[in-house]
Amino acid sequence: MSEIHDFLRDCYDSTSVKCDFICAVNDWNLTPNIKNIVSQIHPETMKRYYGCGLNTPEGIEGKRVLDIGCGSGSLVFLLSKLVGPTGSVVGVDLSPNLIAECVNREDYHRSRWGYDKKNTEFFVGNAENMSQLKDQSFDVIVSNGVFCLIPDKSKSFAEAYRLMKDGGELYLNDIYAETPAPAELRDDLKFWDWAVTGSQLPDELLSSAKDVGFSPPYLTSVGPIDVSDSFKTLLPGRRYLCAGNRMFRLGSGSDRGPASVTYKGNIKNHESEFKWDVNLTFKTGEAVTVDGALAAILANTRYRDSFDLQDTSGPAETRRCQNPFAYLDQLSSQGKRPRCIFTVGVYL
Ligand SMILES: C[S@@+](CC[C@H](N)C(=O)[O-])C[C@H]1O[C@@H](n2cnc3c(N)ncnc32)[C@H](O)[C@@H]1O
Protein backbone atom coordinates (compact mmCIF):
# COMPACT_ATOMS: atom_id res chain seq x y z
CA MET A 1 0.00 0.00 0.00
CA SER A 2 1.33 3.41 -0.95
CA GLU A 3 0.92 6.79 0.72
CA ILE A 4 -1.90 7.54 -1.75
CA HIS A 5 -3.79 4.37 -0.76
CA ASP A 6 -3.41 5.20 2.94
CA PHE A 7 -4.64 8.75 2.33
CA LEU A 8 -7.69 7.57 0.33
CA ARG A 9 -8.53 4.84 2.84
CA ASP A 10 -8.53 7.44 5.66
CA CYS A 11 -10.66 9.88 3.59
CA TYR A 12 -13.26 7.25 2.80
CA ASP A 13 -13.16 5.73 6.29
CA SER A 14 -14.17 9.15 7.60
CA THR A 15 -17.11 9.40 5.14
CA SER A 16 -18.86 6.63 7.04
CA VAL A 17 -19.42 9.21 9.80
CA LYS A 18 -19.10 12.59 8.03
CA CYS A 19 -21.27 12.42 4.88
CA ASP A 20 -20.63 16.02 3.80
CA PHE A 21 -20.41 15.49 0.06
CA ILE A 22 -23.24 14.68 -2.29
CA CYS A 23 -23.28 13.04 -5.72
CA ALA A 24 -26.45 13.27 -7.83
CA VAL A 25 -27.85 9.95 -9.02
CA ASN A 26 -27.92 9.84 -12.84
CA ASP A 27 -31.70 9.39 -12.89
CA TRP A 28 -31.99 10.75 -16.48
CA ASN A 29 -30.26 7.53 -17.56
CA LEU A 30 -32.14 5.05 -15.41
CA THR A 31 -35.19 3.01 -16.37
CA PRO A 32 -38.33 3.15 -14.17
CA ASN A 33 -37.48 -0.35 -12.88
CA ILE A 34 -33.99 0.74 -11.74
CA LYS A 35 -35.34 3.94 -10.16
CA ASN A 36 -37.84 1.85 -8.23
CA ILE A 37 -35.07 -0.43 -6.90
CA VAL A 38 -32.85 2.55 -5.99
CA SER A 39 -35.76 4.04 -4.01
CA GLN A 40 -35.77 0.88 -1.86
CA ILE A 41 -32.05 0.88 -0.98
CA HIS A 42 -31.40 1.74 2.67
CA PRO A 43 -31.21 5.56 3.12
CA GLU A 44 -27.96 5.31 5.13
CA THR A 45 -26.40 3.43 2.18
CA MET A 46 -27.57 6.04 -0.36
CA LYS A 47 -26.42 8.90 1.93
CA ARG A 48 -22.90 7.57 1.35
CA TYR A 49 -23.26 7.10 -2.41
CA TYR A 50 -20.20 8.71 -4.02
CA GLY A 51 -20.53 7.34 -7.52
CA CYS A 52 -20.48 9.06 -10.88
CA GLY A 53 -23.52 7.34 -12.40
CA LEU A 54 -25.05 3.98 -11.41
CA ASN A 55 -24.03 1.42 -14.04
CA THR A 56 -26.70 -1.19 -14.59
CA PRO A 57 -25.67 -4.00 -16.97
CA GLU A 58 -28.64 -5.73 -18.61
CA GLY A 59 -29.50 -9.44 -18.56
CA ILE A 60 -27.56 -10.38 -15.41
CA GLU A 61 -30.08 -12.67 -13.72
CA GLY A 62 -28.22 -15.64 -12.16
CA LYS A 63 -24.80 -14.06 -12.86
CA ARG A 64 -21.84 -13.53 -10.54
CA VAL A 65 -20.86 -9.86 -10.37
CA LEU A 66 -17.96 -7.98 -8.75
CA ASP A 67 -18.07 -4.27 -7.78
CA ILE A 68 -14.54 -2.84 -7.47
CA GLY A 69 -14.48 0.03 -4.93
CA CYS A 70 -18.05 -0.60 -3.75
CA GLY A 71 -18.05 2.18 -1.10
CA SER A 72 -21.21 1.95 1.04
CA GLY A 73 -22.64 -0.72 -1.28
CA SER A 74 -25.35 1.20 -3.23
CA LEU A 75 -24.51 -0.49 -6.52
CA VAL A 76 -23.91 -3.91 -4.92
CA PHE A 77 -27.39 -3.88 -3.35
CA LEU A 78 -28.99 -2.63 -6.59
CA LEU A 79 -27.27 -5.40 -8.56
CA SER A 80 -28.12 -7.99 -5.88
CA LYS A 81 -31.77 -7.37 -6.78
CA LEU A 82 -31.07 -7.58 -10.54
CA VAL A 83 -29.09 -10.87 -10.35
CA GLY A 84 -31.91 -12.45 -8.31
CA PRO A 85 -31.55 -15.13 -5.64
CA THR A 86 -29.53 -17.45 -7.91
CA GLY A 87 -26.92 -14.80 -8.73
CA SER A 88 -24.40 -13.16 -6.41
CA VAL A 89 -22.55 -9.87 -6.01
CA VAL A 90 -19.18 -9.31 -4.34
CA GLY A 91 -18.04 -5.84 -3.22
CA VAL A 92 -14.39 -4.92 -2.58
CA ASP A 93 -13.22 -1.61 -1.11
CA LEU A 94 -10.10 -0.10 0.45
CA SER A 95 -12.09 1.38 3.37
CA PRO A 96 -12.73 -1.00 6.31
CA ASN A 97 -15.39 1.40 7.68
CA LEU A 98 -17.39 1.43 4.45
CA ILE A 99 -17.11 -2.37 4.17
CA ALA A 100 -18.44 -2.61 7.74
CA GLU A 101 -21.39 -0.37 6.66
CA CYS A 102 -22.06 -2.76 3.76
CA VAL A 103 -21.98 -5.85 5.98
CA ASN A 104 -24.38 -4.14 8.43
CA ARG A 105 -26.91 -3.57 5.62
CA GLU A 106 -26.78 -7.02 4.02
CA ASP A 107 -29.64 -8.49 5.99
CA TYR A 108 -31.85 -5.43 5.36
CA HIS A 109 -31.48 -5.83 1.59
CA ARG A 110 -31.78 -9.64 1.67
CA SER A 111 -35.11 -9.26 3.43
CA ARG A 112 -36.21 -6.30 1.25
CA TRP A 113 -35.62 -8.34 -1.93
CA GLY A 114 -37.44 -11.32 -0.39
CA TYR A 115 -34.48 -13.75 -0.48
CA ASP A 116 -34.07 -16.66 1.98
CA LYS A 117 -30.28 -16.44 1.79
CA LYS A 118 -28.11 -13.37 1.24
CA ASN A 119 -26.45 -13.16 -2.19
CA THR A 120 -23.84 -10.52 -1.32
CA GLU A 121 -20.32 -10.73 0.06
CA PHE A 122 -17.84 -7.97 0.97
CA PHE A 123 -14.06 -7.76 1.36
CA VAL A 124 -11.59 -5.08 2.33
CA GLY A 125 -9.14 -5.06 -0.56
CA ASN A 126 -7.11 -3.09 -3.07
CA ALA A 127 -8.17 -2.98 -6.73
CA GLU A 128 -4.52 -3.32 -7.73
CA ASN A 129 -4.27 -6.76 -6.12
CA MET A 130 -7.42 -8.76 -5.37
CA SER A 131 -5.58 -12.01 -4.75
CA GLN A 132 -8.36 -13.28 -2.47
CA LEU A 133 -10.55 -13.69 -5.61
CA LYS A 134 -10.11 -16.52 -8.14
CA ASP A 135 -9.18 -16.25 -11.84
CA GLN A 136 -12.11 -16.13 -14.28
CA SER A 137 -14.72 -16.26 -11.51
CA PHE A 138 -17.00 -13.35 -12.56
CA ASP A 139 -19.47 -12.88 -15.43
CA VAL A 140 -19.64 -9.11 -15.00
CA ILE A 141 -17.39 -6.60 -13.22
CA VAL A 142 -18.56 -3.06 -12.45
CA SER A 143 -16.87 -0.10 -10.87
CA ASN A 144 -18.25 3.37 -10.20
CA GLY A 145 -16.02 6.38 -9.56
CA VAL A 146 -12.97 4.36 -8.49
CA PHE A 147 -10.41 3.87 -11.28
CA CYS A 148 -9.85 7.67 -11.24
CA LEU A 149 -8.43 7.21 -7.72
CA ILE A 150 -6.13 4.30 -8.46
CA PRO A 151 -2.42 5.12 -8.79
CA ASP A 152 -1.49 2.03 -10.91
CA LYS A 153 -4.42 1.59 -13.27
CA SER A 154 -2.64 -0.96 -15.43
CA LYS A 155 -2.58 -3.33 -12.44
CA SER A 156 -6.33 -2.83 -11.82
CA PHE A 157 -7.24 -3.40 -15.46
CA ALA A 158 -5.08 -6.56 -15.42
CA GLU A 159 -6.83 -7.71 -12.23
CA ALA A 160 -10.29 -7.09 -13.77
CA TYR A 161 -9.23 -9.09 -16.83
CA ARG A 162 -7.84 -11.94 -14.69
CA LEU A 163 -11.05 -12.22 -12.65
CA MET A 164 -13.34 -12.13 -15.71
CA LYS A 165 -14.68 -15.24 -17.45
CA ASP A 166 -14.38 -15.40 -21.23
CA GLY A 167 -17.40 -13.56 -22.61
CA GLY A 168 -17.56 -11.37 -19.49
CA GLU A 169 -18.22 -7.62 -19.37
CA LEU A 170 -16.37 -4.82 -17.57
CA TYR A 171 -18.76 -1.90 -17.09
CA LEU A 172 -16.92 1.16 -15.79
CA ASN A 173 -18.43 4.46 -14.74
CA ASP A 174 -15.61 6.83 -14.00
CA ILE A 175 -14.29 10.39 -14.09
CA TYR A 176 -12.28 11.56 -17.11
CA ALA A 177 -10.23 14.68 -17.70
CA GLU A 178 -9.87 16.41 -21.03
CA THR A 179 -6.22 17.38 -20.50
CA PRO A 180 -3.41 16.01 -18.28
CA ALA A 181 -3.24 17.15 -14.63
CA PRO A 182 -0.88 20.11 -14.03
CA ALA A 183 2.48 18.66 -12.92
CA GLU A 184 2.72 21.01 -9.91
CA LEU A 185 -0.49 19.56 -8.36
CA ARG A 186 0.45 15.90 -8.66
CA ASP A 187 2.21 15.62 -5.29
CA ASP A 188 -0.61 17.25 -3.31
CA LEU A 189 -2.69 14.37 -1.94
CA LYS A 190 -5.94 16.34 -1.68
CA PHE A 191 -6.06 16.42 -5.47
CA TRP A 192 -6.12 12.62 -5.46
CA ASP A 193 -9.25 12.69 -3.32
CA TRP A 194 -10.97 14.87 -5.95
CA ALA A 195 -9.75 12.65 -8.81
CA VAL A 196 -7.96 15.72 -10.25
CA THR A 197 -4.68 13.83 -10.38
CA GLY A 198 -5.85 10.32 -11.19
CA SER A 199 -8.55 10.80 -13.84
CA GLN A 200 -7.66 9.24 -17.16
CA LEU A 201 -7.98 11.01 -20.49
CA PRO A 202 -10.51 9.27 -22.78
CA ASP A 203 -7.68 7.98 -25.02
CA GLU A 204 -5.90 6.52 -21.99
CA LEU A 205 -8.99 4.43 -21.24
CA LEU A 206 -8.88 3.04 -24.78
CA SER A 207 -5.23 2.04 -24.42
CA SER A 208 -5.66 0.68 -20.86
CA ALA A 209 -8.46 -1.59 -22.12
CA LYS A 210 -6.54 -2.70 -25.20
CA ASP A 211 -3.26 -3.35 -23.35
CA VAL A 212 -4.79 -6.04 -21.12
CA GLY A 213 -6.91 -7.63 -23.86
CA PHE A 214 -10.41 -6.13 -23.47
CA SER A 215 -12.45 -5.24 -26.56
CA PRO A 216 -12.52 -1.51 -27.39
CA PRO A 217 -14.95 0.23 -24.98
CA TYR A 218 -18.43 1.44 -25.98
CA LEU A 219 -19.55 4.77 -24.47
CA THR A 220 -22.88 4.30 -22.66
CA SER A 221 -23.43 7.62 -20.85
CA VAL A 222 -21.99 10.98 -19.89
CA GLY A 223 -22.67 13.22 -16.89
CA PRO A 224 -21.23 16.71 -16.33
CA ILE A 225 -18.92 17.60 -13.44
CA ASP A 226 -18.43 21.24 -12.42
CA VAL A 227 -15.28 22.72 -10.91
CA SER A 228 -15.63 25.02 -7.86
CA ASP A 229 -14.46 28.63 -8.18
CA SER A 230 -11.56 28.01 -5.80
CA PHE A 231 -10.33 25.06 -7.88
CA LYS A 232 -10.90 26.87 -11.21
CA THR A 233 -7.93 29.13 -10.60
CA LEU A 234 -5.73 26.06 -9.99
CA LEU A 235 -7.15 24.19 -12.97
CA PRO A 236 -7.71 26.88 -15.60
CA GLY A 237 -9.92 25.66 -18.44
CA ARG A 238 -9.63 22.03 -17.33
CA ARG A 239 -12.79 20.00 -17.90
CA TYR A 240 -13.96 16.79 -16.20
CA LEU A 241 -16.94 14.55 -16.72
CA CYS A 242 -18.35 11.18 -15.75
CA ALA A 243 -18.67 8.56 -18.44
CA GLY A 244 -19.91 4.99 -18.62
CA ASN A 245 -18.07 2.48 -20.79
CA ARG A 246 -18.65 -1.22 -21.41
CA MET A 247 -15.93 -3.55 -22.71
CA PHE A 248 -15.59 -7.33 -23.01
CA ARG A 249 -13.17 -10.18 -22.52
CA LEU A 250 -13.63 -12.39 -25.58
CA GLY A 251 -12.11 -15.86 -25.69
CA SER A 252 -9.78 -16.95 -28.49
CA GLY A 253 -11.55 -17.78 -31.78
CA SER A 254 -14.24 -15.14 -31.24
CA ASP A 255 -13.34 -13.01 -34.29
CA ARG A 256 -15.98 -12.63 -36.97
CA GLY A 257 -17.08 -10.32 -39.77
CA PRO A 258 -19.99 -7.87 -40.04
CA ALA A 259 -23.45 -9.27 -39.41
CA SER A 260 -27.09 -8.34 -39.72
CA VAL A 261 -28.33 -8.65 -36.12
CA THR A 262 -31.88 -8.65 -34.81
CA TYR A 263 -32.66 -8.16 -31.11
CA LYS A 264 -35.17 -10.72 -29.84
CA GLY A 265 -36.57 -8.57 -27.01
CA ASN A 266 -35.92 -11.27 -24.41
CA ILE A 267 -33.85 -9.28 -21.87
CA LYS A 268 -35.98 -8.69 -18.77
CA ASN A 269 -37.15 -5.06 -18.46
CA HIS A 270 -35.79 -4.30 -21.95
CA GLU A 271 -38.51 -6.00 -23.99
CA SER A 272 -39.09 -3.29 -26.61
CA GLU A 273 -35.53 -2.01 -27.01
CA PHE A 274 -32.01 -2.48 -25.69
CA LYS A 275 -29.76 0.59 -25.46
CA TRP A 276 -26.29 -0.63 -26.35
CA ASP A 277 -24.41 2.68 -26.15
CA VAL A 278 -24.90 6.38 -26.86
CA ASN A 279 -24.88 5.67 -30.60
CA LEU A 280 -27.00 2.56 -30.97
CA THR A 281 -30.30 1.31 -29.54
CA PHE A 282 -31.50 -2.08 -30.77
CA LYS A 283 -35.27 -2.17 -31.40
CA THR A 284 -36.90 -5.54 -30.96
CA GLY A 285 -37.38 -7.36 -34.26
CA GLU A 286 -35.52 -4.72 -36.36
CA ALA A 287 -32.38 -5.88 -38.20
CA VAL A 288 -29.25 -3.69 -37.96
CA THR A 289 -25.97 -4.36 -39.76
CA VAL A 290 -23.06 -4.11 -37.30
CA ASP A 291 -19.31 -4.31 -37.82
CA GLY A 292 -17.26 -7.42 -36.99
CA ALA A 293 -16.13 -6.10 -33.58
CA LEU A 294 -19.71 -5.72 -32.31
CA ALA A 295 -20.91 -8.91 -34.03
CA ALA A 296 -18.13 -10.81 -32.19
CA ILE A 297 -19.34 -9.40 -28.85
CA LEU A 298 -23.01 -10.20 -29.51
CA ALA A 299 -22.11 -13.75 -30.57
CA ASN A 300 -19.73 -14.58 -27.71
CA THR A 301 -21.12 -13.03 -24.53
CA ARG A 302 -24.24 -13.43 -22.38
CA TYR A 303 -26.07 -11.51 -25.14
CA ARG A 304 -25.66 -14.44 -27.55
CA ASP A 305 -29.18 -15.74 -26.84
CA SER A 306 -30.71 -12.32 -27.38
CA PHE A 307 -29.75 -11.78 -31.02
CA ASP A 308 -30.22 -13.52 -34.38
CA LEU A 309 -27.03 -13.01 -36.38
CA GLN A 310 -26.66 -13.42 -40.16
CA ASP A 311 -23.29 -12.91 -41.85
CA THR A 312 -23.34 -10.03 -44.29
CA SER A 313 -20.97 -8.04 -46.43
CA GLY A 314 -23.24 -4.96 -46.58
CA PRO A 315 -22.40 -1.52 -45.09
CA ALA A 316 -22.19 -1.85 -41.31
CA GLU A 317 -23.05 0.35 -38.29
CA THR A 318 -19.54 1.16 -37.10
CA ARG A 319 -18.44 2.78 -33.86
CA ARG A 320 -19.32 6.46 -33.88
CA CYS A 321 -18.87 9.17 -31.24
CA GLN A 322 -16.69 7.61 -28.53
CA ASN A 323 -15.12 10.74 -27.03
CA PRO A 324 -17.28 11.66 -24.00
CA PHE A 325 -16.35 15.37 -24.15
CA ALA A 326 -17.40 15.57 -27.81
CA TYR A 327 -20.61 13.71 -26.96
CA LEU A 328 -21.37 16.03 -24.01
CA ASP A 329 -20.77 19.05 -26.27
CA GLN A 330 -23.16 17.52 -28.80
CA LEU A 331 -25.84 17.08 -26.11
CA SER A 332 -25.27 20.64 -24.83
CA SER A 333 -25.64 22.12 -28.32
CA GLN A 334 -28.99 20.28 -28.59
CA GLY A 335 -30.13 21.68 -25.21
CA LYS A 336 -29.93 18.16 -23.68
CA ARG A 337 -27.05 18.57 -21.24
CA PRO A 338 -27.78 16.38 -18.16
CA ARG A 339 -27.58 17.95 -14.71
CA CYS A 340 -24.24 18.09 -12.92
CA ILE A 341 -23.22 14.96 -10.94
CA PHE A 342 -20.99 16.85 -8.50
CA THR A 343 -18.64 19.81 -8.17
CA VAL A 344 -14.91 19.22 -7.82
CA GLY A 345 -13.52 21.02 -4.78
CA VAL A 346 -16.83 21.76 -3.01
CA TYR A 347 -17.91 20.41 0.34
CA LEU A 348 -21.60 20.88 1.06
C1 LIG B 1 -15.81 7.96 -5.17
S2 LIG B 1 -16.00 6.58 -4.10
C3 LIG B 1 -17.16 5.56 -4.97
C4 LIG B 1 -17.76 4.51 -4.07
C5 LIG B 1 -18.86 3.66 -4.70
N6 LIG B 1 -18.45 3.02 -5.91
C7 LIG B 1 -20.12 4.48 -4.91
O8 LIG B 1 -20.57 4.53 -6.07
O9 LIG B 1 -20.63 5.02 -3.95
C10 LIG B 1 -14.47 5.71 -4.35
C11 LIG B 1 -14.34 4.44 -3.56
O12 LIG B 1 -13.20 3.73 -4.04
C13 LIG B 1 -12.50 3.19 -2.94
N14 LIG B 1 -11.11 3.00 -3.40
C15 LIG B 1 -10.21 3.96 -3.72
N16 LIG B 1 -9.07 3.39 -4.13
C17 LIG B 1 -9.27 2.04 -4.09
C18 LIG B 1 -8.45 0.92 -4.37
N19 LIG B 1 -7.19 1.07 -4.80
N20 LIG B 1 -8.98 -0.30 -4.21
C21 LIG B 1 -10.26 -0.47 -3.76
N22 LIG B 1 -11.06 0.56 -3.46
C23 LIG B 1 -10.58 1.80 -3.63
C24 LIG B 1 -12.69 4.21 -1.83
O25 LIG B 1 -12.47 3.67 -0.56
C26 LIG B 1 -14.13 4.64 -2.07
O27 LIG B 1 -15.04 3.86 -1.35
CA of 153 to the centre of ligand 1 (A): 13
Return the residue whose CA atom lies nearest to atom 7 of ligand 1. Answer: 51
Question: Which of 56, 65, 93, 343 has the most ligand 1 atoms within 8 A of CB, as the residue to mutate?
Answer: 93
CA of 137 to the centre of ligand 1 (A): 21
In this prediction, residue 193 carries a pLDDT of 77
User: Do 259-311 and 3-253+322-344 fall under one CATH topology?
Assistant: no
In this prediction, residue 184 carries a pLDDT of 80
Three-state secondary-structure class, residue 88: strand
Distance CA 61, CA 85 (A): 9
CA of 146 to the centre of ligand 1 (A): 5
Q: Which fold has domain 259-311?
A: Ribosomal Protein L9; domain 1 (3.40.5)
In this prediction, residue 348 carries a pLDDT of 40
In this prediction, residue 347 carries a pLDDT of 57
Class of domain 3-253+322-344: alpha beta
* Residues with C-beta less than 6 Å from any ligand 1 atom: 5, 8, 12, 49-51, 69-72, 74-75, 92-95, 98, 126-128, 144-146, 149-150
Question: Which of 75, 133, 146, 196 has the most ligand 1 atoms within 8 A of CB, as the residue to mutate?
Answer: 146
Which phi and psi (to 5°) does residue 134 adopt?
-85, 150
Atom of ligand 1 minimally distant from the CA of 54: 8
pLDDT tens profile 253-288: 899 999 999 999 999 999 999 999 999 999 999 999
Atom of ligand 1 minimally distant from the CA of 13: 25
CA of 276 to the centre of ligand 1 (A): 26
Distance CA 140, CA 169 (A): 5
CA of 333 to the centre of ligand 1 (A): 33
In this prediction, residue 36 carries a pLDDT of 95
- What's the burial of 329, exposed, middle or buried (CB within 10 Å: 0-12/13-18/19+)? middle
Strand partners, 309: 261
Return the residue whose CA atom lies nearest to atom 8 of ligand 1. Answer: 51
Q: Which residues of 96-118 are buried (b: 16+ CB within 10 A; e: fewer)?
A: ebbbebbeebbeebbebbebeeb
In this prediction, residue 185 carries a pLDDT of 80
Quick one: which H or E segment has residue 222? strand 218-227
Return the residue whose CA atom lies nearest to atom 5 of ligand 1. Answer: 71
Torsion region of 194: left, alpha or beta (phi above 0 gives left; psi -120 to 50 gives alpha): alpha
In this prediction, residue 72 carries a pLDDT of 94
In this prediction, residue 181 carries a pLDDT of 83
Ranges of each domain in the chain = 3-253+322-344, 259-311
CA of 172 to the centre of ligand 1 (A): 13
CB 313 within 8 A of CB 258: yes
Question: What is the DSSP secondary structure assignment for residue 215, as one 8-state letter?
Answer: P
Residues in the chain: 348
Low-confidence ranges of the chain (pLDDT < 50): 348
CA of 150 to the centre of ligand 1 (A): 9
In this prediction, residue 88 carries a pLDDT of 98
